[in-house]
Structure 1
Amino acid sequence: MARSSSLEKESYPQHLNDLVKSAAEIISPLGPINTFAARNPWMGLEQQPFEKVARRLKDVCDVDIYPTESILKSAYKRGEIGQEFLEIVLHNWLDSLSLDVPRDVAERFCRSALLMDHPPSKLPQTQEFRRFEKKLSHFKHKISEKHAIKTFSQYLDQLGNEGTAKDLNRHMIKWCKLFLDESQAVLSMPNREDGFYHAWRGLVKYDPALKSSVRLELNDLPEKAEDALMKALMKLEIPFYEIQEYLEAHLLALPGWAGMMLWRSQKSSQENSLLEEYLAVRISLEYALIKPYLPLPEKKIEDKVLIEPLAAAWDEWGGIPLNRLAQLSTAELKAHFTLAHRFDRVVRQRLWLEAWEKTYENQLKKIIESKQPNSEKYVKPVMAQFIFCIDVRSEPFRRNLEQEGPFETMGAAGFFGLPIETSELGCHHSHNSLPVMFKPQFKVKETSSELELKQYQQRRKAAHSLNSTFKTMKHNLPSSMLLPEISGPWMGLQTLVRSFVPRGAGSALRIIRKTWLQKPSTKLSLEREYTLHSELPVGFTDEEKVSYVRQALKMMGLTEYFAPLVVICGHGSHSTNNPYASALDCGACGGASSGFNARVLASLCNLPKVRQTLAREGISIPVDTVFAAAEHITTLDKLNWLYVPELSDSAKEAFDQIESILLKVSEKANAERIPQLPNINLTCKNPKREAERFAEDWSEVRPEWGLARNASFIIGERNLTQDCNLNGRAFLHNYKWQNDKNGDLLSAIINGPGTVCQWINLQYYASTVAPHYYGSGNKATQTVTAGIGVMQGNASDLLSGLPWQSVMHSDEEVYHAPIRLLMVIQAPREYVQRALNQSQEFYQKVQNGWIRLASIDPEGNWESWS
């Protein structure tokens, strides 16, 4: 760690807040698991190239964000990486260099390095080799690189005092659990309302897990977190120009707990300094723990480049043994070794990944080009139109639905453009029903008559009273001793039934609950209500109703040729005993099912005043067209009706036909999906029953695959992909460029749903390539902690990503293909170029390799932009 004779004390206070904010970009905010939302772990780093970030993370926390060699070679053997594309990316890489090595020699060396299954063998330390090494004594200094900054506790571990960094993490985990606990602790952390730093400062002096010397050092901390952080940094003598990297290293040590602090700081203005408090606690504690070892010896930045592995690489991969290398001139040797140094493991992984991505792009291109749209299909009248969420799990269901009748399906973002907070009947709490990147602007309540509501609430209260009593008794010492005797017979019976007949038990319990609750028919508060008790306006004004319906119809591409029945389909999931249940609902909306949004939009579309206004604007919805709402349950591939108003004759005919084929569609979709799950009896004659068992079995670690194997986001008309089997790997969003002269619709899709899809893609990607850092490890050994997330054991980081079972087929084989999202836009080239020019953020993502881009022009020509 470099030291500074002058610590620039006056500069610390005014810049420290800004440095904390900048350092926070290296992690992503992490919300509670019950509102799980896919997050791009590197969302703050997209202004840097993907490869640069990969190198930084490897240096600081020894984390690979490129797929491992075993994953890549396995994909190669399965045919998912084409040899011809490996050659293309290799040639492109070599073209970007100016090396004084013959091209054929460079190609042979690099090709061998890519295809070899093992690293080069070490060369014997002979006298000949030592003379050879001396000849190139100045070479390594010219291409050496600076080590990334690590924390002092990590450096102390490297010096031989192992366990210091682990000890610091252990203490931080303990304090974070106490402060962030939402439901599990019987006694809350004292003075928690004063903030993390103040609560910790008041208690740490009494912590028996710390040595008395450490507690004494922490006994005289400043009142303010900012002052404590500044004081600790100054005592550690961190130069001002290294502070941000030093803070980043601490955040990367426990990115889960730090991410939760960041999320809390963004959610509440009262806790906006929470991440700074976290760093103040961590670095103050670090100084107290390592003080006896100070001053640490100066860090020596050693040369990373050693001659031996480079010579061994040329011997094994280039076919040039040491005796032939020794005959080359010094300039030729440096050219050869510079190539070997640059063509390191990270570059090789990068090229393999790019070849994988190009192979998938080529396969997708062939699928789309091989399926010419059937113009006759659109001449026939369409009886019903379905608007599904762009979720990849909708694609197989849509395809099977279209094959069963004169139906048309479309894709749009599953919250349907409604920035709402929802309050369901009888609930005292509401929840956001939109992507986590946005904030709700309106509240919509489910209402009923006063008498029916009162009776329903009483039944709900009675149903919940047993759980409340059980929890109270469990947390009370005298009653907890009696609890096993009281609850034993019932819990034992429930365990047996749920274990041996999960499907029947789950179905029976749901029926009993539904029968008992007797939820009355409800209405939605669509009309604007003025109340002093709500932070958000309840309902919509007339202008707002028209605005959101107009926006939704345009985003769907549905502004003409309306069918008699239009079904807005939200989606959700169903599983039992699953901490990650919300992750299977909506990957963007914090675990909220989008069925409520579907019902709100369908209701708005049926309002006569809304239709009259839209008609004057040129969007004429026929009188006999009726909008309904349904929900696609992805675990069961089943469509449930949520809202069916009074139907016109033609709409009723369409509804009846849909009802007659839904069971068949569900069976076909399940027959396609269920065999992909591991440990399935492939001779199973009833995939539907098997799907129901998966949803109800409380021991099932993988109720469905979720959004695993997602790979592309296709923006275009449905006839582009209709009849194409995309294997549930594509997000499908309708878009008609002819109706988007100024490009506003395309920009909205790219920056809204496109960003959401990219987050989902990189969440799955990260959980696959680094499952124990960006994922959450094995689901069977997880511990739900503090009511907010999961850990491995009782002293790990708060795990931020998806469990091993969501991305892996077995211990040795991945199921999710960790490739970056391919965005395909059906539009003229100038439209795509305009979208890149208008959004610097989108341009950076493409330019720096965080997303891949292709387009299909009106003539059907495919162009790759990355």
Structure 2
Amino acid sequence: MGETREMTQQQAIDDFDINSCVSNASKVIVPLSPISVFAARSPWSKLEHKTFDEVAKGLKKARDVDMYPAVATILEAKKQGEIDEDVLTDLFTQWLEATNIVIPRLKAEQFGRNALKLEPLIATKAERHELEVLSSELSATFIDNNEPETITPLVSSYVLDKDNKKVIDTVDYHIIKWCKLYFDDAQSGWTMPNRERGLFSAWKRLVKHDPALTKSQRLRLKNLPSHPEALIKVVLSKLQITEEQTQTYFENHLLSLPGWAGMILWEEENNTHVDSLLLSYLAIRLGMEWSLVEPYLPVNQPDTRSSIQIEDCILSWLRWGDISLKEWSMLNSYEQKQYIMFATQFNQRECRKLWLEAWEATYNHQMKEMIVPQQLEQQQNEHTQVQMAFCIDVRSEPFRRQIEHAGPFETIGIAGFFGLPIEKCELGNHHSHPSLPIMNRPLHKIKEYTLKREPTAFQQRKHTLESVTYTFKKMKQNALPSLLLPELSGPWLTLQMFSRSFMPKHAGHLMRKFYARWLHKPDDTTLTLNHKHHYEDGLPVGFTEEEKVTYTRDALRLMDLTSNFAPLVVFCGHGSHSANNPYAAALDCGACGGAASGFNAKVLAQLCNLPEVRYGLAQEGIVIPESTVFTAAEHKTSVDDLHWIYVPELNEAAQSSFEMIKAAMPAISYSANKKRLATLPHNTSSRKNPVSEVHNLTNDWSEVRPEWGLAKNAAFIIGQRELTKNSDLQGRVFLHNYDWQHDKDGSILATIISGPATVAQWINLQYYASTVAPHYYGSGSKATQTVTSGIGVMQGNASDLMAGLPWQSVMSSDNKMYHSPIRLLVVVQAPQQMIAQILEENQAFQQKVKNGWIRLASVDEFGQWQDW
């Protein structure tokens, strides 16, 4: 009969669609791009059909990963005045009213108020003995059904071997080894044999020779099928995993190493030369699991009921419910179970959930107080000389405020790629790079070129520099040349080490000066804006005449700049600078894979200056005065300065405006840097020149925190600049210009919500996850990171591929919080009916709001605040 059952199960597995199951299971992870093109991404972007709390419970059960802030983080936020305890009390009262409570209400309320103090539970030695006795009496009959199993446990997750070690740890060790070999990006001198055949085939050919496995384990792997899907089906049958359990079994395998699994998913989505890579990965994991656990089968799932948990629940009633051991003993068995169930229900996670909601509600109130009372100035200042469009990046907000205070300058917020879906190829580069958020795909390629046919001196110098770098790298990677390398490079590298260590500012200045001269682009460098039926990599090079007008019109409407143009308009991209920093791309742009957006600013500025584009815009009601000139610059966020990258010939009015902003910039940079440096730990800038100090930080190769990046981000405001102009938003807010009166059909708002707002949410949750679960979703300390295979970082030589931000990007010290882990607040300045329309038409956005992934508020036409 048992044999018949096994045959029936095998037949069901044979008929099962493994590929579809793998695709569904992959929702628990997200693609992880290589570190060189790092982009912030919500770890839970594919799980938003569930509530935040449901995902939190599932992750806690499956991987012991906590999605709510730690007690120490909450208490520090309370100490800093970020949480209003009256709000917390109201939320707890609401929780009590919404919860079915069997025990006396006064007891529940007393317990809850004390539990919310988040004080540790510590039992005396005498109490612990009594608790063990009381717990043993309940544990035999007590089963907690509040949190049913959400993910099928891995057979290898149990302790099986004599060393009290989980087999899953050994499985992960081997998987990390094979992934490092396969995904190596030219970092090692010897590549993985048979790599060109694909991950699974290369592994299957090599694993039977792996000395880290026993002879019997290698034999088991050798006898498994040589096709990933067939192997998976065989192993599922041998492990007795049913069809209903298969998807959650795959999910648990993917969650075991979410970094490497995410890298595989990224490769599968972005590399046309690979196919079913995630299927191969799971096949290898299941094959390794089978080879290791086979001697221990059948494995019975251990009893998950924990007497320790019951002990802690009783102890919590002693401390927080004011019940003595004698009073507890007098309760009957049913009453004791009800008290235990309440303590289990209102556990520390529930307490921290309420604290998080109170934290967020407090910030909502603070934001409301800052922006609602402002008197809106509907008319533009008639004397505005310069209009400057910045990226919505939170680092732009303090810089913009300094600019506005410095003179007749107006600033504007828009997503930093300026709505241009392009892939850029700068002069002298052989490779192009998408220059837009990773959620989008480029539709055009724009190249820099020079009118000279023969190679320019710039191109020759760039080629020379690349050749030297390539030769040095190859010598390091090969056995014999690497022996000679120290003799050849020792003096130069020694000089570099001392200068970069003891004189970082001067060394950096010399290097920048050298590169500025050596790689100075020719004056006739231009862009391929005109599409002439030429394609590269499947993309048209340049734009058609109609596309030029369309992209320019859409960009100007998105930034709400369609009239009242100043003599000089500056499109400001942004980028950063740091030394010896694996996460440099994250500082350049957290959304666009490290693509500094000055190139996009230059493209849009040139488009706006074209007579044919201005004529086309005029036909659509956007009339740009002949006296207005568009330029492009790049905001260097690490030093808060502007680098001019495109300044065409200026008329008298524009020249006057240009000289005005250039003259004001030193004082603006000084003030912005002084304010920003004050937020960095161990700051001594009060005794130094802040401009000099920031250049030291960005050029010091031992500096783990050259700038804060987008840490502390908390809100996304879509509205007129006058709404926030007089408020110090402390560099925590994404600011996007928007005027609902110029958007009668709501299409512009819909574009902002589905594009920039979604990117901001991903950034916010990336920082959130790296703060609340740094061991799982962060990347640990920069000081102990190892760059691995040229694609990412690990902690040590056998960890998961770290998926998130380093500890120094979210903490000001080992035990002191800097980033406040709260979910993004989106504030829209628009009538309530427009917000309701957006929620009705955009189901994905409605789902984010409803399920607690973002918070939504609005300021209507009468200046009234509304929480949604």
The TM-score normalised by the length of structure 1 is 0.96
Mark the CA change 1:763 to 1:339 in structure 2 (over 3 Å): closer, same or farther.
same
Shift of 1:148: 4.1
Classify the secondary structure of the residue corresponding to 1:773. helix
Shift of 1:86: 0.9
Which deviates more from structure 2 when the two are superposed, residues 606-615 or residues 175-184?
A: 606-615
Amino acid at match of 2:322: G
Amino acid at match of 2:386: A
1:827 equivalent to 2:830? Answer yes
Alignment of 1:324-473 (within 5 A): 324-325=327-328, 335-373=338-376, 378-451=380-453, 453-473=455-475
C-alpha distance in 2, partners of 1:560/1:74? 47
Mark the CA change 1:34 to 1:51 in structure 2 (over 3 Å): closer, same or farther.
same
Once the two structures are superposed, residues 311-351 of structure 1 have per-residue CA deviations (whole angstroms, 9 ceiling, x without a partner) of: 32222112233444455677765554433221012111111
Per the alignment, residue 545 of structure 2 pairs with 542
Cα contact 1:178–1:188 (8 A) shared by 2: yes
Cα contact 2:458–2:519 (8 A) shared by 1: yes
Mark the CA change 1:194 to 1:326 in structure 2 (over 3 Å): closer, same or farther.
same
Which deviates more from structure 2 when the two are superposed, residues 311-320 or residues 534-543?
A: 311-320
Mark the CA change 1:757 to 1:231 in structure 2 (over 3 Å): closer, same or farther.
same
Amino acid at match of 1:290: V
C-alpha distance in 1, partners of 2:684/2:472? 39
Mark the CA change 1:144 to 1:515 in structure 2 (over 3 Å): closer, same or farther.
closer
Classify the secondary structure of the residue corresponding to 1:245. helix
Shift of 1:656: 1.0
Per the alignment, residue 809 of structure 2 pairs with 806
Per the alignment, residue 207 of structure 2 pairs with 204
1:509 equivalent to 2:518? Answer no
Shift of 1:98: 2.5
Amino acid at match of 1:43: S
C-alpha distance in 2, partners of 1:128/1:702? 48
The one of 612, 619, 623 aligned to 2:622: 619
Per the alignment, residue 603 of structure 1 pairs with 606
Shift of 1:272: 3.4
Gapped regions of structure 2 (runs ≥ 5): none
The one of 713, 716, 737 aligned to 2:716: 713
Per the alignment, residue 225 of structure 1 pairs with 228
Shift of 1:304: 8.1
Classify the secondary structure of the residue corresponding to 2:159. helix
The one of 64, 71, 75 aligned to 1:73: 75
Cα contact 1:305–1:341 (8 A) shared by 2: no
Shift of 1:183: 1.7
Once the two structures are superposed, residues 553-578 of structure 1 have per-residue CA deviations (whole angstroms, 9 ceiling, x without a partner) of: 11111111111111111000011111
Cα contact 1:775–1:803 (8 A) shared by 2: yes
Cα contact 1:12–1:240 (8 A) shared by 2: no
Per the alignment, residue 96 of structure 1 pairs with 98
The one of 255, 260, 283 aligned to 1:252: 255
The one of 151, 155, 160 aligned to 2:154: 151
Classify the secondary structure of the residue corresponding to 2:816. coil
Classify the secondary structure of the residue corresponding to 2:769. helix
Per the alignment, residue 768 of structure 2 pairs with 765
Once the two structures are superposed, residues 428-458 of structure 1 have per-residue CA deviations (whole angstroms, 9 ceiling, x without a partner) of: 1000000011110000000112256433221
Shift of 1:374: 5.5
Cα contact 1:177–1:785 (8 A) shared by 2: yes
Mark the CA change 1:125 to 1:491 in structure 2 (over 3 Å): closer, same or farther.
closer
C-alpha distance in 2, partners of 1:323/1:699? 60
Mark the CA change 1:466 to 1:268 in structure 2 (over 3 Å): closer, same or farther.
closer
C-alpha distance in 2, partners of 1:599/1:144? 55
C-alpha distance in 1, partners of 2:501/2:482? 25
Shift of 1:470: 1.6
Which deviates more from structure 2 when the two are superposed, residues 612-621 or residues 675-684?
A: 675-684
Per the alignment, residue 169 of structure 1 pairs with 172
Cα contact 1:41–1:766 (8 A) shared by 2: yes
Alignment of 1:49-128 (within 5 A): 49-119=51-121, 121=123, 124=127
Classify the secondary structure of the residue corresponding to 1:713. strand
Classify the secondary structure of the residue corresponding to 1:845. helix
Classify the secondary structure of the residue corresponding to 2:406. coil
C-alpha distance in 1, partners of 2:758/2:599? 23
Per the alignment, residue 656 of structure 1 pairs with 659
Which deviates more from structure 2 when the two are superposed, residues 17-26 or residues 116-125?
A: 116-125
C-alpha distance in 2, partners of 1:506/1:358? 45
Cα contact 1:546–1:610 (8 A) shared by 2: yes
Gapped regions of structure 1 (runs ≥ 5): none
1:727 equivalent to 2:730? Answer yes
Cα contact 1:197–1:278 (8 A) shared by 2: yes
Shift of 1:13: 4.8
Amino acid at match of 1:384: V
C-alpha distance in 1, partners of 2:844/2:69? 25
C-alpha distance in 1, partners of 2:514/2:614? 41
C-alpha distance in 2, partners of 1:127/1:480? 67
1:498 equivalent to 2:467? Answer no
Shift of 1:581: 0.5
Cα contact 2:135–2:307 (8 A) shared by 1: no
C-alpha distance in 1, partners of 2:131/2:784? 54
The one of 270, 273, 277 aligned to 1:270: 273
Amino acid at match of 1:483: L
C-alpha distance in 1, partners of 2:404/2:134? 74
Once the two structures are superposed, residues 212-252 of structure 1 have per-residue CA deviations (whole angstroms, 9 ceiling, x without a partner) of: 11111111332321111121111111111011111111111
1:858 equivalent to 2:861? Answer yes
Shift of 1:620: 1.1
Cα contact 1:637–1:669 (8 A) shared by 2: yes
Mark the CA change 1:328 to 1:282 in structure 2 (over 3 Å): closer, same or farther.
closer
C-alpha distance in 2, partners of 1:80/1:128? 38
C-alpha distance in 2, partners of 1:132/1:17? 46
Classify the secondary structure of the residue corresponding to 2:273. helix
Cα contact 2:372–2:865 (8 A) shared by 1: no
Which deviates more from structure 2 when the two are superposed, residues 709-718 or residues 148-157?
A: 148-157
Per the alignment, residue 488 of structure 1 pairs with 490
Cα contact 1:80–1:360 (8 A) shared by 2: yes
Per the alignment, residue 34 of structure 2 pairs with 32
C-alpha distance in 1, partners of 2:477/2:271? 30
Which deviates more from structure 2 when the two are superposed, residues 467-476 or residues 275-284?
A: 467-476
C-alpha distance in 1, partners of 2:131/2:738? 67
The size of the alignment, in residue pairs, is: 862
Classify the secondary structure of the residue corresponding to 2:286. helix
Per the alignment, residue 668 of structure 1 pairs with 671
Cα contact 2:143–2:305 (8 A) shared by 1: no
Amino acid at match of 1:260: M
Once the two structures are superposed, residues 517-572 of structure 1 have per-residue CA deviations (whole angstroms, 9 ceiling, x without a partner) of: 33202111000022365420000001111111111111111111111111111000
C-alpha distance in 1, partners of 2:848/2:307? 30
Once the two structures are superposed, residues 485-504 of structure 1 have per-residue CA deviations (whole angstroms, 9 ceiling, x without a partner) of: 11111111111111111111
Per the alignment, residue 848 of structure 1 pairs with 851
Mark the CA change 1:120 to 1:795 in structure 2 (over 3 Å): closer, same or farther.
same
The one of 744, 748, 753 aligned to 1:750: 753
Amino acid at match of 2:77: A
Shift of 1:484: 1.0
Alignment of 1:556-567 (within 5 A): 556-567=559-570
Classify the secondary structure of the residue corresponding to 1:44. coil
Which deviates more from structure 2 when the two are superposed, residues 362-371 or residues 178-187?
A: 362-371
C-alpha distance in 2, partners of 1:568/1:26? 39
Cα contact 2:567–2:654 (8 A) shared by 1: yes
Mark the CA change 1:104 to 1:496 in structure 2 (over 3 Å): closer, same or farther.
same
Per the alignment, residue 799 of structure 2 pairs with 796
Across the aligned residues of Structure 1 and Structure 2, the Cα RMSD in angstroms comes to 2.2
Once the two structures are superposed, residues 686-722 of structure 1 have per-residue CA deviations (whole angstroms, 9 ceiling, x without a partner) of: 1000001111111111110100000101111100000
